[in-house]
């Protein structure tokens, strides 16, 4: 049986949720549903996703969570017009890592900057071969600070050195080679079919305790570095170079430092 919860206004408020929800045989699908902003990480999107994850974690009928998207972009990174509080974003990344249910990222589009942090925080990540990826932070004068919490323990360090520093785009097979993705294929749903079947066949207790084993090193990084990286992110975003970089991005021009 499948049920779907559309994005509808919350009772008594003007807020419209930007997370779509559907369930099939114990797998809850959460869709980033703000295609007009390319699913950028706004305060609203981060808050709505955190709320949905909390509900999934507490629901005994949910065996696993699939995190996906509407539109052609999984997530474009921070919403420069309505950015989330850095501490709230750190909390969301940690929530993905700590959730007692496996979280599977399903990508059939493009991923930039902070969206790569979401991927790294998931337990399993698959993408279509048409998807592209880029750490674009350096292009606007900041650094991939907070998203490094799940990325550094899980991704090839030499690859991160290149893509962090250059902001280059890379494809899904390269993302899989570096450990950012678990797998890539022409049909992402076909790639995930055996994964979801395996999760449905697994005992909830077994999944929860196995996930604890797998995420222990990632959570050590959060415990050690979250405060420092949150402060670094806030400092960089408030800097003159970042203001120039973000303004140039919004005005669709090169920033002043481009040679």
- What does 10-44 look like in DSSP terms, one character per residue? PTTSS-B--EEEEEETTEEEEEE--GGGTT-B-HH
Angstrom distances, CA of residue 85 to CA of 49, 117, 120, 222: 14, 15, 20, 17
Q: What is the pLDDT of residue 81?
A: 86
Which pLDDT tens digit goes with each residue over 66-91? 999 999 999 999 998 888 899 999 99
Neighbours of 241 (CB within 10 A): 14
Question: CA–CA separation, 112 vs 50, rounded Å?
Answer: 20
Q: Which pLDDT belongs to residue 14?
A: 63
Distance CA 236, CA 138 (A): 11
- Tell me what pLDDT residue 3 has: 35
Q: Tell me whether residue 245 is exposed, middle or buried, using C-beta atoms within 10 angstroms of its C-beta: 0 to 12, 13 to 18, 19 or more.
A: buried
User: Per DSSP, what are the bridge partners of residue 32?
Assistant: 19, 69
Q: Which burial class, exposed, middle or buried, applies to 3 when counting CB atoms under 10 A from its CB (0-12, 13-18, 19+)?
A: exposed
- For position 213, what pLDDT does the model report? 98
Give the residue ranges of the chain where pLDDT is below 70.
1-14
Going from N- to C-terminal start, the domains of the chain cover 2-187+204-250
CATH class of the region 2-187+204-250 = alpha beta
Kindly give, in sequence order, each residue whose CB lies less than 8 Å from that of residue 140, ignoring residues fewer than 6 positions away.
Answer: 242, 245, 246, 248, 249, 255
């Amino acid at each position: 049986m499948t049920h779907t919860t559309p994005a509808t206004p919350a009772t008594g408020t003007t807020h419209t949720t930007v997370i779509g929800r559907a369930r099939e045989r114990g797998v809850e699908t959460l869709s980033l549903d703000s295609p007009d902003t390319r699913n950028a990480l706004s305060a609203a999107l981060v808050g709505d996703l955190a709320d949905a994850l909390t509900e999934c974690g507490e629901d005994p009928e949910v065996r696993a969570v699939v995190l996906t998207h509407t539109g052609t972009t999984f997530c474009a990174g921070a919403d420069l017009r309505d950015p989330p509080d850095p501490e709230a974003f750190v909390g969301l990344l940690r929530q993905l890592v700590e959730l007692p249910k496996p979280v599977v990222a399903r990508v059939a589009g493009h991923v930039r900057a902070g969206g790569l942090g979401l991927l790294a925080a998931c337990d399993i990540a698959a993408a279509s071969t048409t998807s592209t990826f880029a750490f674009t932070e350096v292009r606007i004068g900041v650094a991939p600070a907070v998203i490094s919490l799940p990325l550094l323990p899980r991704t090839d360090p030499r690859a991160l050195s290149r893509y962090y520093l250059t902001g280059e785009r890379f494809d899904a097979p390269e993302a899989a080679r570096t450990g950012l993705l678990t797998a890539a294929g022409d049909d992402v749903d076909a790639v995930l079919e055996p994964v979801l079947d395996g999760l449905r066949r697994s005992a909830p207790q077994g999944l929860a305790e196995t996930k604890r084993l797998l995420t222990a090193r990632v959570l050590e990084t959060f415990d050690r570095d979250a405060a420092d990286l949150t402060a670094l992110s806030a400092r960089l975003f408030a800097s003159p170079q970042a203001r120039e970089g973000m303004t140039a991005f919004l005005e669709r021009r090169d920033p002043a430092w481009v040679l």
